[in-house]
Amino acid sequence: MSDSAPRRDTRGIVDPAELLSRVRFRRHTPAPELRPFLEHYWLIDWELPEPYATHVVPHPSVNIVFQRYGALDAPAVHARACAEVAGIGLGLFTRKLTGTGRVCGIQFRPGGFRPFAPAWPVSTWTGRRVSLPTVFPDTDTGAGRGPATGTEPDPTTKPDPDIEPDPDIEPGPATAPGLLDAVLSPETDHPRVAALDAFLLARGPAPDPAADRAMELVDLVREDRGLRKVSQLVAAAGLSARSLQRLFGSHVGVGPKWVILRYRIHEALERAEAAGEAGGPDWAALAAELGYSDQAHLVRDFTATIGASPTAYARGLSAP
């Protein structure tokens, strides 16, 4: 996987066709030294006259996200920029996009983040979004939160409440304006990718055989659809259940059962999207294929995560 091109699937994105009709979304491969630890870089740009809410069922991955938001037709110097470490999201992630925006993200492979931040177990960040210097203190120059160009905010400009820094990001030191500038200011993708490469290569990765093992086991869960229970993963790993749990907590950020369930939901979401007006595949058969005890259990998990039943979601995608 580490030597392959970025994924082309839209797994985890709710109503991907709608999202891709509104934003420019693309993925890029990182530098060769980083590929064993990263899924890809993901870049999004948009100009939206009307607000749009996007929804994602997160992967069991940590992300580093550089982001800039501004009012439509306003100079970039007045935009708001910040950077965060986003731990594994436990529920549906929803974000309102409005005006103009640019996001440059780093998606780590499950288990691949710890070598860059070895001081903490990855579970430290699960369900949290923290400022980048909270995890990487050397990115902090003590600068205040301001425009992406690193200049001081214009005191005569009143901030648009829709583009204030995300209140869900836990407070912390401000990211160095120079780093934000290097990642977010280029108008083409190549220099943005180069800036992301430089940021990570300056910080590791530290050798960590446990991280290698964790990545290998999560890949097994993702690729082997017959692996439906933690007991099966325990047997495949040759570890005790307790040791497997500790490994996942320290290097993935969530337990093995959670990872198995999340990939089940991703699979069901993808099947529902492919179904269109037919309303979905044979959900009872899919439930059995994914290791659910019955269809009701699958429907319950899907509805709790997405907010709609599989059939309702599939039909909603085809509605005009």
In the prediction, which pLDDT does 177 show?
84
Distance CA 159, CA 153 (A): 10
Q: Please name the residue that has the structure tokens 């990570």.
A: 200
* Domains, the chain, ordered by start: 16-201 (no CATH), 209-317 (1.10.10.60)
Continuous H helices in the chain: 16-20, 132-135, 177-184, 189-201, 209-223, 230-237, 241-251, 256-275, 283-289, 295-306, 310-317
Q: Please name the residue that has the structure tokens 């990115």.
A: 139
Burial of 167 (0-12, 13-18, 19+ CB in 10 A): exposed
Per the CB < 8 A criterion, the answer to whether 254 and 261 are in contact is no
In the prediction, which pLDDT does 275 show?
65
Measure CA 255 to chain center: 18
Record the pTM.
0.86
In the prediction, which pLDDT does 152 show?
34
In the prediction, which pLDDT does 211 show?
97
User: Quick one: DSSP state of residue 13?
Assistant: B
Which one, of 131, 156, 26, 28, lies nearest residue 81 by Cα?
131
Residuewise pLDDT in 10s, the chain (320 residues): 444 567 777 888 988 889 999 999 999 999 999 999 999 999 999 999 999 999 999 999 999 999 999 887 767 666 789 999 999 999 889 999 999 999 999 999 999 999 999 999 999 999 999 999 999 988 743 333 333 333 333 333 333 444 444 667 787 777 778 999 999 999 999 999 999 999 999 998 999 999 999 999 999 999 887 888 899 999 999 999 999 999 999 999 999 999 999 998 998 888 877 765 555 678 888 888 888 888 898 888 888 888 888 878 877 764 44
In the prediction, which pLDDT does 317 show?
64
Distance CA 278, CA 129 (A): 38
Burial of 304 (0-12, 13-18, 19+ CB in 10 A): exposed
Distance CA 81, CA 67 (A): 6
In the prediction, which pLDDT does 77 show?
65
3-class secondary-structure state, position 138: helix
Distance CA 274, CA 268 (A): 10
